[in-house]
Structure 1
Amino acid sequence: MAKSVSLASMDQKLAMAKRYSHEGVIAGAKAAVIASIATAIPAYAYGKMSPWARTYLNPTAKALIVSTAAGMAYFVVADKTLLKIARQNSFKQT
Structure 2
Amino acid sequence: MAKNVSLDSIDQKLAYAKRCSHEGAKAGAKAAVFATVVTAIPTYACGKISPWARAHLNPTAKALIVSTAAGMAYFIVADKTILKTARQNSFKQQG
Verify same fold: TM over 0.5: yes
Deviation at 1:90, TM superposition (A): 2.4
Name the CA distance, whole Å, in 1 between partners of 2:74 and 2:50. Answer: 29
Consecutive unaligned residues in structure 2, runs of 5 or more: none
Give the root-mean-square deviation of aligned CA atoms: 1.4
> How many residues of Structure 1 are paired with residues of Structure 2 in the alignment?
91
CA change 1:44–1:31 in 2 (3 A) is same
Question: Which structure has more helix as a fraction of its residues?
Answer: 1
- Residue aligned with 1:84, SS: helix
Task: Quote the residue 2:44 is aligned against.
Answer: 44
Consecutive unaligned residues in structure 1, runs of 5 or more: none
Task: Quote the residue 1:62 is aligned against.
Answer: 62
Alignment TM-score, normalising by the size of structure 2: 0.89
1:30-75 deviation line (CA, Å, top 9, x unaligned): 0000000000000000000000000000000000000000000000
Residue type of the alignment partner of 1:74: Y
Q: Spell out the pairing of 1:15-34 with structure 2 (5 A cutoff).
A: 15-34=15-34
Instruction: Work out the percentage of aligned pairs sharing the same amino acid.
Output: 78
- Residue aligned with 2:62, SS: helix
